[in-house]
Amino acid sequence: MSSEGFLKEVQAIAEKFLLKLQKLPKAEPVEIVSFTVVLLFIVTVLVLTIIACSCCCYSCCGCDGRPDPRHRKSQVGPAAL
């Protein structure tokens, strides 16, 4: 997919989202609850992704951005008989 197609797709999704937000005050309670559940799910996935990426980066590189020598993987060779 080209970048222009991707941008148009994102813009279409954003427009649908804004339209849904504008209609939300007039919506039925079931629709409001379902919209809230979907929104909470999306936010939870994004937050967990950010936490996972930051923990992975922290354990690999530490705060200063340099690799931590304690977390190096050691290579194991064949055992001598």
Q: Can you give the pLDDT at residue 55?
A: 78
Whether 42 maps to a domain, the answer reads yes
Whether 41 maps to a domain, the answer reads yes
8-17, 28-37, 45-54, 72-81: least confidently modelled range = 72-81
Residue 60 · residue 71 · CB < 8 Å: yes
Whether 67 maps to a domain, the answer reads no
Residue burial 60-80, b: 16+ Cβ < 10 Å; e: rest = eeeeeeeeeeeeeeeeeeeee
| Total count of residues recorded for the chain | 81
Whether 33 maps to a domain, the answer reads yes
Domains identified in the chain, total number: 1
Q: 0.75 exceeded by the pTM?
A: no
Whether 68 maps to a domain, the answer reads no
Average pLDDT over residues 17-29: 87
Question: For a pLDDT cut of 70, what percent of the chain falls above it?
Answer: 75
How many Cα atoms within 13 Å fall on the side-chain side of residue 46?
Answer: 6
Q: Is the pLDDT of residue 71 over 80?
A: no
Return the higher-pLDDT residue of 54 and 68: 54
Token pair 């200063």: residue: 64
Q: Which domain holds residue 51?
A: 28-58
Q: Can you give the pLDDT at residue 30?
A: 92
